[in-house]
Amino acid sequence: MDSYWLITLIGAVFLFLFKQVEWKGFVSVLLSDAAINPLKILILFISMTLLSIYLDHFGFFRYLANATLRRANTSQTKLFLYLYLTVSVLTVFSSNDIIILSFTPFICFFAQNAKINPMPYLAAEFVAANTWSMALIIGNPTNIYLATAHGVNFLDYLKVMTLPTLAAGLIAFVLLYGLFRRQLQAPISGKAEDIVIKDKMRLAIGLLHLGICTLILVFSSYLQVEMWKVAFFSALSLFLCASVVSALRGEVAVGLTACLRRAPWQLIPFVLSMFVLTIALKNCGFTELFAKILGSDCPILSYGLASFFTANVINNIPMSVLFCSVMENLPALLQVKAMYATVIASNLGAFFSPIGALA
């Protein structure tokens, strides 16, 4: 993602220069109150990511990973199970990318000290994070983009995706355990390191904000408040509260600056540029042609498979932006079916090749 955004940005600039996309039309979309507004979607994702980054900065995920290792004692099978469960639960309520980036170094470090193969645990972490991220709309930026673009609220999304996520998560665990069962028979010789939460107050503030934010998101449709506003003001409130704590203690808010630096800001030019590219494809008739090829007889199958393989060619985020435009050519009822199929593909597509997802 560090350099992807530059390539797409150059492409978008050329499209503006050669009048393939009108600048005024693009700006009007950004300022509109329509469902497909990339700015609102980006604010929602980055705000939720900041909440997760804050918790990670103050050691929450590292502490839980260490607690998981301690609970397993010397059994690799228990460790495998506990790690899968821990990553699954955390991914549901935060961001799958943050969980993977937080847990991976810790798993590698522990495996080296314990003299065990890290591959079963890295696979369990990766599969769990990219499977259970389907459960809630906030689990993956692709979920947010696709669902928000089609006006699907938090609760409606949860109702539809709970069963597919449970089924995929359980099947994935059984397959993974069957694949690594023999390697997990050997005992663990090393011990988990001692990890202590140094700033429990700041961590508690972060957990409180994430919990309240998630709860409000669940009922956002009934409260008639847009999800991006809930996420944005939750992140803003968190950083204001943390800043007040720093001021009262006479400390410099270094941790908050570090959290802001880690936020995926490069996603902004990347998604906006991809949005420009899809407008150009729509203007030249490509998205309409693609929709005709996919047909409307069985959108769950056709859009699910097509988006799965497309994600492994251009990555799941640009795929989601592209398919969102393609779906506009379907009847409203079929659009929703195609959207959920694409959501699943955007998450599970990561299993096919490294291109399928960011982390």
- Judged by average pLDDT, the poorest of 11-20, 226-235, 258-267, 347-356 is 347-356
Q: Write down how long the chain is.
A: 359
Decide if 139 is inside a domain. Answer: yes
Per-residue pLDDT band at 275 (split at 50, 70, 90): confident
Averaged pLDDT, 320-334: 91
**Cα angle for residues 218, 223, 229 (degrees, 5° grid):** 75
Query: Model pTM?
Result: 0.80
Please indicate, yes or no, whether residues 244 and 322 belong to a single structural domain of this protein.
no
Kindly state the percentage of the chain with pLDDT values over 90: 45
| 172-209 tens-digit pLDDT | 999 999 999 999 998 887 666 677 788 899 999 999 99
Please indicate, yes or no, whether residues 225 and 88 belong to a single structural domain of this protein.
yes
Please indicate, yes or no, whether residues 163 and 296 belong to a single structural domain of this protein.
no
Residue 35 pLDDT greater than 70, yes or no? no
Q: 202 and 242 in contact (C-beta within 8 Å)? A: yes
Please indicate, yes or no, whether residues 243 and 321 belong to a single structural domain of this protein.
no
| 126-175 tens-digit pLDDT | 999 999 999 999 888 889 889 988 989 999 999 999 999 999 999 999 99
Please indicate, yes or no, whether residues 84 and 206 belong to a single structural domain of this protein.
yes
Residue 4 pLDDT greater than 70, yes or no? yes
What is the token pair recorded at 193?
A: 């390191």
**264, 293, 320 — which closes off a domain?**
264
Q: How many domains does the chain have?
A: 2
Kindly state the percentage of the chain with pLDDT values over 70: 96
Gap between the terminal Cα atoms of the chain: 10
Decide if 12 is inside a domain. Answer: yes
| 78-112 tens-digit pLDDT | 989 999 999 999 888 877 877 887 788 778 877 87
Please indicate, yes or no, whether residues 160 and 217 belong to a single structural domain of this protein.
yes
Q: Which domain holds residue 226?
A: 48-264
Please indicate, yes or no, whether residues 202 and 312 belong to a single structural domain of this protein.
no
Please indicate, yes or no, whether residues 74 and 191 belong to a single structural domain of this protein.
yes
Please indicate, yes or no, whether residues 312 and 177 belong to a single structural domain of this protein.
no
| 50-79 tens-digit pLDDT | 998 999 898 888 888 778 777 777 789 998
Please indicate, yes or no, whether residues 254 and 329 belong to a single structural domain of this protein.
no
Decide if 252 is inside a domain. Answer: yes
Decide if 42 is inside a domain. Answer: no
Angle formed by the axes of helices 76-93 and 119-132, nearest 10°:
30
Please indicate, yes or no, whether residues 298 and 162 belong to a single structural domain of this protein.
no
Decide if 39 is inside a domain. Answer: no
**220, 239, 264 — which closes off a domain?**
264
**264, 290, 306 — which closes off a domain?**
264
Please indicate, yes or no, whether residues 259 and 271 belong to a single structural domain of this protein.
no
Averaged pLDDT, 309-336: 89
Decide if 73 is inside a domain. Answer: yes
What value does the mean pLDDT of the chain take? Answer: 88
